[in-house]
Structure 1
Amino acid sequence: MLLGVDIGTGSSKAVLASPDGTVIDTATVHHAVSLPRPGWAEFDAENTWWAEVQHLCRELFARRDARQVTGVAVSGMGPCLVVTDARGVPLRPAILYGVDTRARREIAELNEEFGEARITADGGKALSSQSVGPKLRWIANHEPQVFAAARYWFSCSSFLVHKLTGEYILDHPTASQCDPLYDIRRREWITDRAAAVARHLPLPRLLWPAETAGQVTREAADLTGIPVGTPVCAGTVDAWVEAYSAGVRSSGDTMLMYGSTMFFVQQLRAFRSHPQLWTVSGVEPGSLTLSGGMSTSGSLLTWLQQILGGTPMEVLLKDAAAVPAGAEGLLLLPYFAGERTPILDPDARGMIMGLTLRHGRGHLLRAALEGICFGLRQTLDLVEEAGEPITRLLAVGGGLKAGLWSQIASDVTGRTQIVPKVTIGASYGDALLAAVGTGTVAPDTDWMKADRLVEPTAGTAGLYGEMYATYCSLYASNRDHMHALARIQEKAAQS
């Protein structure tokens, strides 16, 4: 059996699979992000991420023989930042990926220090809330005692690899999001910048996701039940593993992930970049991808569910499905945690426009789904402008369980989506990485089998085109107001 474990924003999942891709068993545990201040998003890496890996493994091995596990790979939300002492114990909560926007001033500081154009040329993208370098600088600036005590820095998946093996590594896709520290063309660290940003912290050894990082230690075996000496692959950020599991291998293949955030990854034939998108190393050695992600998608739906009294999501979706396309003139901008792709504005704020006394909870949920999909349409149009023509759009992620969401996405974008038979998440791709990394299967093995198509509904294009035009103009018209409110929110949090 191959074991794959993924730490997502809303839950952690583990899967046991056979070398032919058959799912043998799965386990899931849910958790919540810590949002201690506006613009902050954190997790307890030790007592949530590592504890959940142990819990998931114990659950699976209560039903399955752990001695049959021949390889392990882990993935996680990312890029994140975990700083630890010399024993690998975190010194503060992990700082999350682009949904954590605290390092705005550090982005400006590093752009001034190294040159914005040079950073973009070397890394394939501009510094943003997705970048790890500004967050390292933020800890140095705002928590100097923590930074001085730190001895290692990790992302989510590499922290778990360290817990399992004791090795200090980072995979290339994650490293290529540690701007401004990584040269994406040379596929190596930029050591002078690292000395200025990471300072005394050593740089982790770089590996491709399927490469073996180390073996499970006795201590980790006692905690998880995974046999001592089992090979552990480097793993990577969950979105890239999920793209890998969905069969994104050829130029133009594009994964669309329905999760807490909506994310895409497109396989590139050659290097391309765009100021609103991210060029990132791919899963397979030497490969490149174009990517981007919204800040709130599934997490926005969860927020709506909470403020609507905890009504079961299936009930809310039924209500939303009963509302006609366009939500009877209700429009939502999904910038409830700022926005990454396509506007790259951490100070953008959510907006619900067109409310009347006629609108109910079904309208609100439908407007949220449509708003997310309008943002997706903007993003996919950028992809075709900057990257490769989209040859296949492969849909994955837990949000596919809400069939209404993927149908609205096809209606708004006018694009057909391919849904694989197995859509259980990045943990399935982790199992494939483990199979490839241990030599159990050939490197070009692809477990993806198509299940169904989601095609645009006839007759919706005109209305959605009109709503989309209004959606695009709302941000430009209200940007200054959003930023003013963001400053008020920041002052309120400080007081």
Structure 2
Amino acid sequence: MKSDGNYFIGIDIGTSSTKGLALSSQGVALQVEQVHYGIYQPSPDHSEQDPEQMVAAVLQCIKAIVARQGVPAAIAFSNAMHSIMATDKDGKPITPMLIWADNRSLPMAARLKNTPEGRDIYTQTGTPIHPMSPLCKIAWWRGSEPAMFARAAYFVGIKEYVLHRLLGRFYIDDATASATGMYNIHTHAWSPEALAVAGIQESQLARVVRSVDILQGLEPAVAKELGLPALIPLVAGGSDGCLAQLGSDAMDEGHATLTIGTSGAVRMTTHRPLIDAQQRLFTYILKDQYVSGGAINNGGVVLQWYAKQFMPNTPFTTALEQALALPPGAEGLLCLPYLMGERAPVWDSLARGAFVGIQPGHTPAHFLRALMEGMAYDLLEVTMALQETVGPVKKISVSGGFTASPAWIQLLADIFQLPMHLQQQSDASTLGAIWLAMEAVGQPRPHNATTDADKVFAPNAALAAVYGQYFGLYRQLYGNLKKVFEGLHTLQAAPASATDAVNTAATSKENNNTHPRAVQ
């Protein structure tokens, strides 16, 4: 049945897929669409995506929903943070889309981070100096690809590119802008100091708008393809992390959100831009408030990697069940889960994964459980930093793909020794985008929008001591292994030299065997 104008669409442009949610004005989910796409990693430091695939996924989700539900009242957007690409003057890509996991700007980030200039930029922008940030990626391009850099007319992220395809103009919402490392969260303007480091002009970036601003004027061909009027309200929306806070109804003091999807994060809302003196946390804009927190690189993507490599004949859900059935501590096995480097709390792209305490009795399920516990310890460290900077955590709401496993949520409750609240609703980021769409067009938010009451996972107090002891040991791992990781990176960064040495040795041996009398 058509519901023209009586529902809203939220589009979440994520790292591994784009999701579309149709929600009625009464808060009833009408339709969900999801289109997956890949990440290209031709070498360990590369993480790229094809922006055309992502645009096609957005169009496919909108088109499928409109075909069944009719014309919506508005469409709003959520997006993964920290993506960046270069385009020519016509807005056509001249680079792939570099995502948060791309580490090629590591040398540039390392040079800048602990300088007075780097600390000043962090204080202004609330974004840690790290290879994830568009600031560092653009500055790296400037030095490593000068011909491309000189040709680039614009530097934009995935949402800006999608909006350009829809409207013919580049826009960026202030929440997403505040995650670029180039936007001053105190003055709500691009930072001249950060732009100088990047080597670009403000005119090379998208126009900044508010999260609730309405953008109109669909390109005629796009309007026809989607079955939408040209003046359909498109609401700028925000970044996925900030909107997860809004969609989880976690805008009150002391209410944290914990998300595990491809990556993971813990966040809290504040009324002023608080800056962590140790540079462990980010602070981003969300309307008239701020969201502080820390994101980890190694979420579900690491578990998927492990299951594929070491438990290939076991369905993923079964592998999780086997791991979660084991006792706390994985029977003496600890894991530092930094396979993709790490953002919060260490912000070290050279960090790597490690298993410590391996014994003959450990099975693949033990290693998987140790990975899950390591992720939880990592998120607990972020939460501790949040409590030091923002204030006490009174409640944690959980969201993301991991919530399909009650035992996994319970694991977090037991390690944190705090209740975990699972809201019975759709993806929090997508829902947050819809709340912005409703606000933008003056539609009151429905009271029953989150449907059922939270399901609460209470911690098992009997496990506090054992997890506390393992956590204490876990916190020693990174510091003890940091120099080892740096040494491994140095060796890995010079493969040609190592190969030359092997070839030289082989040639020498061959010569000695061929001409034994030549050696006296």
Specify if TM > 0.5: yes
CA contact (8 A) 2:20 2:62 kept: yes
| Candidates 365, 377, 390, aligned match of 2:380 | 377
- Residues 1-150 of structure 1 aligned to structure 2 (within 5 Å): 1-46=7-52, 48-62=53-67, 64-67=68-71, 69-97=72-100, 99-110=101-112, 115-150=117-152
Aligned partners of 2:245, 2:194: CA distance in 1, in Å?
31
CA contact (8 A) 2:261 2:402 kept: yes
Moved more, 72-81 or 198-207: 198-207
Secondary structure of the corresponding residue to residue 359 of structure 2: coil
* Counterpart check, 1:190 vs 2:196: no
Q: What is the percentage of aligned positions where both structures have the same residue? A: 26
**Correspondence for 1:424:** 427
Secondary structure of the corresponding residue to residue 243 of structure 1: helix
Change (3 A) 1:437 1:406: same
CA contact (8 A) 2:20 2:430 kept: yes
CA contact (8 A) 1:319 1:361 kept: no
How far does residue 86 in structure 1 lie from its aligned partner after superposition?
2.4
Secondary structure of the corresponding residue to residue 369 of structure 1: helix
Change (3 A) 1:372 1:146: same
Aligned partners of 2:307, 2:48: CA distance in 1, in Å?
22
CA contact (8 A) 1:242 1:429 kept: yes
Moved more, 332-341 or 212-221: 212-221
Aligned partners of 1:466, 1:9: CA distance in 2, in Å?
35
Per-residue Cα deviation, 1:279-324 (whole angstroms, up to 9, x for no partner) = 433322x211212100111001110121021521111022113211
| Candidates 358, 363, 381, aligned match of 1:360 | 363
| Candidates 319, 322, 326, aligned match of 2:329 | 326
How far does residue 381 in structure 1 lie from its aligned partner after superposition?
0.8
| Candidates 272, 275, 278, aligned match of 1:273 | 275
CA contact (8 A) 1:262 1:297 kept: yes
Aligned partners of 2:476, 2:219: CA distance in 1, in Å?
55
Amino acid at match of 1:234: A
Larger relative contact order, structure 1 or 2 (CA cutoff 8 Å, min sep 6)? 1
CA contact (8 A) 1:73 1:434 kept: yes
* Counterpart check, 1:397 vs 2:400: yes
Amino acid at match of 1:37: S
**Correspondence for 1:247:** 249
Secondary structure of the corresponding residue to residue 215 of structure 1: coil
Aligned partners of 1:252, 1:337: CA distance in 2, in Å?
30
Moved more, 390-399 or 108-117: 108-117
- Residues 309-320 of structure 1 aligned to structure 2 (within 5 Å): 309=312, 311-320=314-323
How far does residue 134 in structure 1 lie from its aligned partner after superposition?
1.1
Per-residue Cα deviation, 1:246-304 (whole angstroms, up to 9, x for no partner) = 112122221111211111221013332112433433322x2112121001110011101
Amino acid at match of 1:45: P
How far does residue 45 in structure 1 lie from its aligned partner after superposition?
0.9
Instruction: Return the TM-score normalized by structure 1.
Output: 0.93
CA contact (8 A) 1:86 1:151 kept: yes
Secondary structure of the corresponding residue to residue 368 of structure 1: helix
- Residues 221-300 of structure 1 aligned to structure 2 (within 5 Å): 221-274=223-276, 275-284=278-287, 286-300=288-302
CA contact (8 A) 1:85 1:152 kept: yes
Per-residue Cα deviation, 1:212-232 (whole angstroms, up to 9, x for no partner) = 133332222234334322111
Q: Which runs of 5+ in 1 are unaligned?
A: none
Aligned partners of 2:148, 2:496: CA distance in 1, in Å?
22
CA contact (8 A) 1:161 1:213 kept: no
Amino acid at match of 2:70: A
Amino acid at match of 2:54: W
Secondary structure of the corresponding residue to residue 366 of structure 1: helix
Moved more, 6-15 or 109-118: 109-118
Aligned partners of 1:468, 1:114: CA distance in 2, in Å?
34
Change (3 A) 1:397 1:65: same
Change (3 A) 1:113 1:214: farther
Change (3 A) 1:480 1:74: same
**Correspondence for 1:304:** 306
| Candidates 338, 343, 346, aligned match of 1:340 | 343
Secondary structure of the corresponding residue to residue 330 of structure 2: coil
Moved more, 162-171 or 339-348: 162-171
Change (3 A) 1:277 1:445: farther
Aligned partners of 2:447, 2:245: CA distance in 1, in Å?
14
Change (3 A) 1:492 1:66: farther
Give 1 or 2 for the bigger CA radius of gyration: 2
Moved more, 269-278 or 167-176: 269-278
Change (3 A) 1:287 1:91: same
CA contact (8 A) 2:126 2:284 kept: no
Amino acid at match of 1:249: M
Secondary structure of the corresponding residue to residue 433 of structure 1: helix
* Counterpart check, 1:480 vs 2:486: no
**Correspondence for 1:387:** 390
CA contact (8 A) 2:19 2:34 kept: yes
Number of equivalences? 488
How far does residue 197 in structure 1 lie from its aligned partner after superposition?
2.1
CA contact (8 A) 1:4 1:15 kept: yes
Change (3 A) 1:277 1:225: farther
Moved more, 323-332 or 191-200: 191-200
Amino acid at match of 1:127: I
CA contact (8 A) 1:301 1:365 kept: yes
